[in-house]
Amino acid sequence: MIPLSKKIAFVSASAIVIILVVLIALPTFTAQSGTSHAPSVAAGSTGKLQVITSFRPITLLVEPVAGDYADVTQLLPPGAEPHEYEPTPGDAVTLAKGKVLFYDGPFMEPWVENIAGSANPDIVRAPFIDSIPPAALAQMKTEYPDFPNTDQDPHLWLSPQLAEYYVPYIANQLSAADPANASGYQKNAAAFETRLKKLDTDYSLGLTNCTTRTFLTSHAFLDYQAAAYNLTALSISGLSPDAEPSVQQMASILKEAKADNVQGVLAETDEVQALSQSIATELNLPLYPYSTMEILPGGSPQPGDNDYVTIMENNLQQMRQALKCQ
């Protein structure tokens, strides 16, 4: 989700000072001290490689590669939204003990690089965007004129094709940080890549024979996926889920949706769905939930809740219904 305001563009200097004071004064403080997102294992306590992830989609891509060889600790607690998250002293302590930090990128989590630089200047930073070769990005932009600007749209993980770039990158970063288990990371990555290639094939085949190739959302979060599978994504409010479109914008998009034979509206499950519902009602179309995986749910996880491929397969079924695919 893209925030409306610029509430949290960076961690303030005073906040960083407070965090550093805590680091100096409380060296034994761990995330087990009562914070709402205490990891199951305190970072650094097992002797394994300590890997830090920013938020849920990144965690779901890193964990299958890390396997049992590393401890993976996610910074964001249940219910937290990545853009407007305010790091805690406990996060600084966790980062101080980490060796590798995986995250989406500076646009999605501007706070990550600020706190990482203060708490642990030596931690290896591994953003998703760095895994995609510039030549590959250039080719995608050539093949799909509406390919998103990666400096503005952070939803890279929602394209199975882009996820395939990130997995070997993850394995290489882990292998470099923990050479003794390099073969294990590479083996895990190969197995995960096989699942991702099947997922990509499922999307390609599943989105072949459809009544329409245009879908509608309240805001733009599926443009990478649209580019990958030759679809057209229409959105009312652009990248911001909280924007209030003008009457003219609404009228223009609704007119285009009717002209392009839109059959359904896809709504991000974690967003406020008032706008999505009003669009669906105005066009007399069904509303289909789509999980971006951005927010970690509270409570006990259900089967498949922590599996990237399973979640994306479920999303594919929602997409197929929205496009009326055979």
15-47 pLDDT tens trace = 443 344 344 333 333 333 333 343 333 445 568
Q: Are residues 260 and 315 in the same domain?
A: yes
- The per-residue pLDDT for 239 is 67
Are 184 and 270 members of one domain?
no
Q: Tell me the pLDDT tens digit for each residue of 82-115.
A: 877 899 999 999 999 999 999 999 888 888 888 9
C-beta neighbour count of 244 within 10 angstroms: 11
Residues 152 and 218 in one domain: no
Quick one: tokens of 324?
Answer: 């009326």
33 plus 169 within the same structural domain: yes
Q: Tell me the residue ranges of DSSP E strands in 177-281.
A: 214-217, 232-235, 265-268
47 & 165 share domain: yes
- Same domain (yes/no): 226, 249: yes
Q: Which of 185, 202, 219 is the last residue of a domain?
A: 202
Q: Kindly state whether residue 1 falls inside one of the protein's structural domains.
A: no
In this structure, are 292 and 195 located in the same domain?
Answer: no
C-alpha 104: how far from its chain's center?
6
Alpha helices in 100-222 (DSSP H): 110-119, 134-143, 160-177, 182-206
pLDDT at 214: 96
Decide if 8 is inside a domain.
Answer: no
Question: What CATH number is associated with residue 257?
Answer: 3.40.50.1980
How many domains does the structure of the chain reveal? Answer: 2
User: Do 215 and 282 sit in the same domain of this protein?
Assistant: yes
Q: 247 and 184 in one domain?
A: no
Going by pLDDT thresholds of 50, 70 and 90, the confidence category of residue 213 is: very high
Residue 6 lies in a domain: no
**Cα(56)–Cα(305) distance, rounded to whole angstroms?**
11
Q: In what order do the strands lie in the sheet with 265-268?
A: 232-235, 214-217, 265-268, 287-290
71, 48 in Cβ contact below 8 A?
yes
Beta bridge partners, 289, equal: 267
Residues 157 and 243 in one domain: no
Average pLDDT, rounded, for the chain: 84
Residues 59 and 186 in one domain: yes
Which residue range(s) make up the domain with 213? 204-323
Q: In which band, very low, low, confident or very high, does the pLDDT at 245 lie, cut at 50, 70 and 90? A: confident
Cβ of 297: how many Cβ atoms within 10 Å? 15
Specify whether 259 is located in the same domain as 193: no
- C-beta of residue 224 within 8 angstroms of C-beta of residue 144: no
Last residue of a domain, one of 202, 217, 252: 202
| Beta sheet of 124-127, edge-to-edge order | 70-74, 49-53, 100-103, 124-127
